Every structure is written in C-alpha cells, then in structure tokens.
Amino acid sequence: MIKMKDIQKIYGKNATKVRALSNVSLTIEKGEMVAIMGASGSGKSTLLNIIGCLDVPTQGEYLLKEKDISSLSNKELAKLRNQVLGFVVQDFALVEQYTVAQNIAIPLIYSKISRLERKKHIDIILDQMDILEKKKVLVSNLSGGQRQRVAIARALANSPDIILADEPTGSLDSQMSQEIMELFAELNRQGKTVIIVTHDPMVAEFCQKIIHIKDGKLAEQNVV
C-alpha cells in the first residue's frame, strides 16, 4: 500500500535550512493500523503530510498503491487525495456554520453522484458513526467527541482505502479518546488502512505497528 525509500525533507536554504526528515524508509501494508510516535518537532506530522500527498519529499522515493508520487501532476495528486485518502486532524477542521450533513457533503461535491445518492450515502456514514440524529445540527453546537465523529465521517465520505489521523484524540478527554480509538479500530477491522500520528501510548495500544521517529529519523519499528 505504502512504500518509502530514503525520504528526506528539507525546509529553507543555507543558514535557515532545517532537515525535517532524514533517510526515512518504511513499508505499510494494506489493512494495517499503524501509530507514528515521537516528540514535538520530531518530524512525525511532516511524514504524515508526505504520506497524505499534502507535501512532497526533497529527495527519495514514495510509492502509494504502486504509483510513484513524484510522477503525478497536481491534478492527479488532488484526485488521489480525494479518492484514496481520508484525513482526520486534532482540531477537527470542520466548517462551524455548516450542519453535520453539509460538512460531510464537502468531499462529495466533486463526485459524480446525484444529490439524492449523496444524501443516502451521508445517512449511512452518520449511522455508522452513531450520530445520524445530529445530521441537521450545526457543528458549532456539538461536543468535542461528536465533532471528531463528524470529522471521521467526512474522511470516510469517498470510501478511501487509507485514513490518516494527526493527533485525533488530542482535544478529547480520556473517555472520548477511548471511544474514538474504538471507532478507528472498527474501521480497520472493516479493511481500512489506518495511520495515526500520536504522542499518546493509549492510542498506540490500538495499533498493530508502532513507528518511532526522533529528530527526523526512524528510531525503531515495533510490531505488536
């Protein structure tokens, strides 16, 4: 599913040059649930952004579903992000003045399906996330846990193969964090490849593989 070889990422030039990633090589198989762990500034979010085709490496090879990412145009990358990848972030990144259903519809706008089919699809996802009754509620009126469920539902809108989550429990209490991780685990059991950046050992316990990163380099990989 994902194969990286000697990935490097450098920001800036000369005196301002910062090496965010250095010679990172890893493989993530289809259906794995993986945690990427490291301290703040270790390079874990940079790595996730490159995996998610939101950023490009300065050097190295990245194959996503056997496609060489460096050979793709911006239009092809946008299509790949929309169809293959689903993103969940710590601060939810939802449109506050939109309803739950309107937020989930955003990635579906570019899909060639009818409005009726979109509504049916959104209902199915919301039911799966156990928030169908919140469909017409403004996101601004939801709790943190409910907002993260909406964010996950939006990530699932186009039935992606891979779900990428950056500190998805960082804004939640321990009970809500447990519930959100159980949702991710269920999605993984259904066949989704799940990759989570986290500093929380509880989150990592849900994963089959733990990748530790330090100072832009892979420190170790553990298979649970």
- φ and ψ at residue 65, rounded to 5 degrees: 50, 45
Both structure tokens of 101: 């259903």
Domain 29-56+81-223 has CATH 3.30.160.620: no
Both structure tokens of 85: 């990848």
Measured CA to CA, the distance from residue 189 to residue 192 in angstroms comes to 7
What is the pLDDT, as a whole number, of residue 163?
96
- φ and ψ at residue 169, rounded to 5 degrees: -110, 5
48 contacts 197 by C-beta, under 8 angstroms: yes
pLDDT tens-digit profile, the chain (224 residues): 899 999 999 998 877 888 999 999 999 999 999 999 998 889 999 999 999 999 999 999 999 999 999 888 988 998 888 889 999 988 888 999 999 999 999 888 877 778 888 899 999 999 999 999 999 999 999 999 999 999 999 999 988 999 999 999 988 899 999 999 999 999 999 999 999 999 899 999 999 999 999 999 998 777 76
145 contacts 176 by C-beta, under 8 angstroms: yes
Q: For residue 172, what is the DSSP state?
A: S
Domain locations along the chain: 29-56+81-223
Both structure tokens of 189: 């059991």
Angle at CA of residue 32, ends 214 and 37, nearest 5°? 20
Strand duo 193-198 + 162-166: pairing: parallel
Number of neighbouring beta carbons within 10 Å of residue 159? 12
Overall pTM surpassing 0.85 (yes/no):
yes
